[in-house]
Every structure is written in C-alpha cells, then in structure tokens.
C-alpha cells in the first residue's frame, strides 16, 4: 500500500519483486484458507478478505516505519529480510485463527442440522404410524 507505492515511485531496486512476493503471499493465503471445507462459505470468504487486508495493512505500516525515514528509503541490510517475513507469519496466523473459528462453527452447525434431521425423522415415523393405524381402523 503506502510502502509499495513509495518504493515504486522512488524507483527503488527490487520494488517489483517486493510487489510480486506480496502477491504470492496472497495466493498462498487464499490457497491455505480454501483448503479447509469449513472456510468455503460466503461469509467466511468475506471475513478472510477483510482479515487479509488488515494484516497486509499492519505489515505495510511496520515496513513503512522500518524502511523509510522522512519518506526516504533507508536500507536496513540483511536484517531487513526478517521484517519482510512479517507478512507471511501474520497471514499464517490469520489463516489458523479463522480456520479454527470457522471449523468450530461448522461442527456446531453440523450437529444442529443432524439433531434437526433426527427430530424430523421421528415426526415422519410417528405420522406414518398414525396413518397406518387409521387405515387399519377403516378396514
């Protein structure tokens, strides 16, 4: 966002690679998120997109304050690579937390649906039994 834009406008070497790496992180984020069945709903995808944007924004702000001083690029050297790893780590944590929440909701809803189906089967069984008794009485 801000860091990408400033790097691109100041023509800093490696800005294109930086943007490509962030794009690859988003592809991996989406892949890991969609690998779990409980995460494939419309609301879950919205939550994942919003969470991913928030995590990317937080990483971007950290990078901005680390790599730029008065809007001028400051090369942190090899130690800067560790700061770049902030985005994948935060995205991985985001996937883990969202997947845990969605899986627990999915299991709860699954049990609720099974319970409702069980009730419906009992009602259907009682209805058939009642119909059979009433047809026996008519004969």
Within a domain: 69 = yes
pLDDT at 125 exceeding the cut of 80: yes
Does 114 map to a domain? no
9 found inside a domain: yes
Domain membership of residue 121 (yes or no) is: no
Q: What digits encode the pLDDT tens for the residues 59-105?
A: 999 989 988 888 888 888 888 878 888 999 999 999 999 999 988 88
Domain presence at residue 135: no
For residue 110, tell me if it sits in a domain.
no
The stretch 111-128 carries a mean pLDDT of 88
Q: What is the pLDDT of residue 56?
A: 94
Query: Over 70: is that where the pLDDT of 139 sits?
Result: no
Establish if 63 belongs to a structural domain. yes
75 is a domain residue: yes
Q: Is the dihedral of CA 94, 95, 101, 105 positive or negative?
A: positive
Q: How many independent structural domains does the chain possess?
A: 1
Q: Which domain holds residue 77?
A: 2-105
Q: What is the pTM of this model?
A: 0.73
């Amino acid at each position: 966002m801000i860091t990408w834009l400033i790097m691109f406008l100041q023509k800093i070497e490696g800005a294109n690679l930086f943007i490509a790496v962030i794009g690859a992180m988003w592809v991996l984020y989406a892949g890991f998120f969609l690998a779990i069945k409980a995460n494939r709903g419309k609301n879950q995808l919205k939550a994942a997109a919003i969470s991913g944007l928030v995590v990317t924004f937080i990483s971007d702000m950290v990078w901005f304050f680390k790599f730029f001083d008065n809007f001028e690029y400051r090369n942190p050297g090899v130690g800067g690579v560790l700061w770049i790893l902030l985005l994948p780590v935060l995205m991985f944590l985001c996937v883990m937390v969202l997947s845990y929440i969605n899986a627990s909701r999915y299991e709860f809803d699954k049990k609720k649906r099974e319970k409702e189906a069980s009730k419906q089967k009992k009602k259907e069984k009682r209805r058939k039994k009642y119909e059979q008794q009433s047809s026996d009485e008519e004969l």
